[in-house]
Chains A and B, each alone.
Chain A
């Protein structure tokens, strides 16, 4: 059964220059508003017990979508059906009264969720217990730090385990201890068969907590799928955007003279080439064989005076690895031909998911002089099978030591 079903949900904000225009419009039956499409054509299905992460830039429509899901905003087109009792934790500090104590606010918050006096009395101790605010619970909420406030608000929101839990960014202001506690609580609620919609800029949390993810861009669904894939794609896009500005400042290196050696071809050699021929960006898997073939002319130089350097860059301009035949002291083949060829091979590609490209340099034996260069060529993508390979830039050789085990032995002996 689907807990959440959205069909072509769209939401238009009617923006009025002044509140009175809305009234005049209704009276005079003449449009006086501008339309702002906050959401367009959102399709989403989440089965009961599922979890979906919501990512995207600021202003992409995440909060609006959450409000629609929470039932605080009505979509202007499409269908939205939610099964069961929902609890939403939206903007921080909404629905609390600053002059009132935490206790009074908790009581009111529970009443706002439709509990009667007896139920409020029943759940109140649990809320206070979870919030762990100590004697501060009797102080006015205006004296709380934002972290304390989120403790209170979260505790109220999850007091009665909901069928659908909707959580916005707010959690991130809590301290590490409470973040963990609240994440654990959300996981427990999920395990109890509830459905979770989680919006965060902490992509790690999204990946950890959610099975699916959706990526919103300018009110539209840019991508929907398995959380790992969507988060990777989103991160790629963010990196690509930040590197555009950097790329503009880079000057292309010019060959020093016309008679100098030049690069002829740089090509990625892929294990299963057939699949990759039709796409712009070849895809490699972490741990797969990765090879780059570089062809160049020697232009009459001595074989050991023309070396090839390769740099792998991620699309946010991070240099992942750079090495050259000069530094590796490769003996360049001396077969007398003017065209030469060299292959850079990684038996097991250690890079993790992301979009990368190559920089290839043709340098002299001093390593200072550059004959020719290609920057940002051969873009390729790396994907990893699972989070199990770790996260970040590359896989690193490692092992774990568990002193606990040793300790146990000692205890036994």
Chain B
């Protein structure tokens, strides 16, 4: 149903997405380059702190470059999700005018940050690949193995976007809470450090950290060329269930949301 609608509205979706990307960088000096500068800046910062100062290592290799690649693969996922999580709560309230006065279908809006996050992710991926190729560690089939995990990431992002977008209408505080949630998420997930560093008695908890599992999958696919399909299938199942639930919530509450927009 939604896929059919997507087809019908593909033109609209495209121009909304283009506008969305441009909107954030019109009137800035560096323009779209910001999309690259932000993740690179964070990469350098985190590499310095965690690799040089705290001496954390992945795969027991002493190389700083390998640490940077592992870190970057993790940040790839995290930044993309962060984009969705920060923007979703204000998605509907910021477009009140459009929703109330034009035939704009509401379900199209949560697709925007997910689309943007995909663009962000692929730009970062490009950098990662360039880096890997330069270092001589590039795994060709890694990119193929990456695709299914990217799909899971997108489904999970959609679930978060629909859920947060609709709840954000009713709970305006969500917008303020999100940055804090993201900081917590960054530090409790094995993005900046390897999973092996986690004490044994916390491990069962980490099994349920979706972001952590996703990062794990990305790293295995892109850097090690490993694809554990049971792992992937499990993630896909959970993500799809989440999406179903949040679509239901979105549909259920949209009528009410229009009243309080």
| Chain A residues close to B by CB (< 8 Å) | 13-16, 19-20, 22-23, 25-26, 67, 70-74, 88, 90-91, 93-95, 97, 99-100, 104, 107-108, 111-117, 119-120
Contacts and interface: CB of A to CB of B under 8 A. Distances in A.
Contact of A94 (B11, B14, B101, B172): B101
Contact of B11 (A70, A95, A100, A120): A120
Nearest to B7: A116
| Closest A-B pairs by Cβ, 8 of them | A94-B101, A23-B170, A116-B11, A19-B260, A111-B12, A95-B102, A94-B97, A90-B101
B253 A26 contact: yes
Interface string B136-160: 0000000000000000000000000
B260 A112 contact: no
B19 A72 contact: no
B237 interface: no
A300 B253 CA distance: 84
26 contacts: A15-B259, A19-B260, A20-B172, A22-B170, A22-B257, A22-B260, A23-B167, A23-B253, A72-B99, A73-B100, A90-B101, A94-B97, A94-B100, A97-B19, A99-B23, A99-B26, A100-B23, A107-B15, A108-B15, A111-B14, A112-B98, A114-B12, A116-B10, A117-B11, A120-B11, A120-B15
Given A71-B103, A115-B11, A95 B98 contact: yes
A112 B103 contact: yes
Contact of B12 (A22, A91, A112): A112
B259 A23 contact: no
Contacts of A114: 8-9, 12, 103
Main secondary structure of the interface of B (DSSP, over half): helix
Given A94-B100, A95-B102, A108 B16 contact: yes
Interface string B1-36: 000000011111011100100010011000000000
Given A67-B100, A120-B15, 14 more contacts: A13-B259, A14-B256, A14-B259, A20-B170, A23-B167, A72-B100, A72-B102, A94-B98, A111-B12, A111-B15, A114-B12, A116-B11, A117-B11, A120-B11
Contacts of A13: 259
B172 A113 contact: no
B234 to A, nearest CB: 30
A18 to B, nearest CB: 8
A59 to B, nearest CB: 17
A93 B100 CA distance: 12
A117 B11 CA distance: 5
B93 to A, nearest CB: 9
A104 B15 CA distance: 9
Given A20-B171, A95-B97, A113 B103 contact: yes
A12 to B, nearest CB: 10
Nearest to A24: B170
Interface in B208-261: 252-253, 255-260
A23 B166 CA distance: 10
A74 B255 contact: yes
B11 A72 contact: no
Nearest to B100: A72
A243 B162 CA distance: 55
Contacts of B171: 19-20, 23
Nearest to A13: B259
Contacts of B26: 99-100
A20 B260 CA distance: 9
A116 B10 CA distance: 7
Nearest to A92: B101
A91 B253 contact: no
Given A73-B258, A95-B97, A120-B11, A19 B103 contact: no
Contacts of B44: none
B103 A97 contact: no
B85 interface: no
Contacts of B99: 72
Given A19-B169, A71-B103, A114-B9, A108 B19 contact: yes
A108 B112 CA distance: 15
Contacts of A119: 11
Contacts of A115: 11
B104 interface: yes
A26 to B, nearest CB: 6
A73 B99 CA distance: 10
Contact of B260 (A16, A73, A111, A120): A16
A19 B9 contact: no
B90 to A, nearest CB: 13
A99 B11 CA distance: 21
A199 B171 CA distance: 36
B18 to A, nearest CB: 9
B172 A19 contact: yes
Contacts of B27: 99
Contacts of A99: 23, 26-27
Contacts of B11: 111, 115-117, 119-120
A210 to B, nearest CB: 23
A15 B256 CA distance: 10
B103 A26 contact: no
Nearest to A115: B11
B127 to A, nearest CB: 29
A72 B170 contact: no
Contact of B14 (A14, A19, A100, A117): A117
A108 B19 CA distance: 9
Contacts of A70: 103
A346 B170 CA distance: 67
A114 B9 CA distance: 6
Nearest to A109: B102
Task: With a 10 A CB-CB cut-off, give which of A88, A91, A99, A112 has the most chain B CB atoms.
Answer: A112
A16 B261 CA distance: 11
Contacts of B253: 23, 26
Contacts of B102: 72, 94-95, 112
Contacts of A97: 19, 23
Contacts of B167: 23
Contacts of A111: 11-12, 14-16
B174 to A, nearest CB: 10
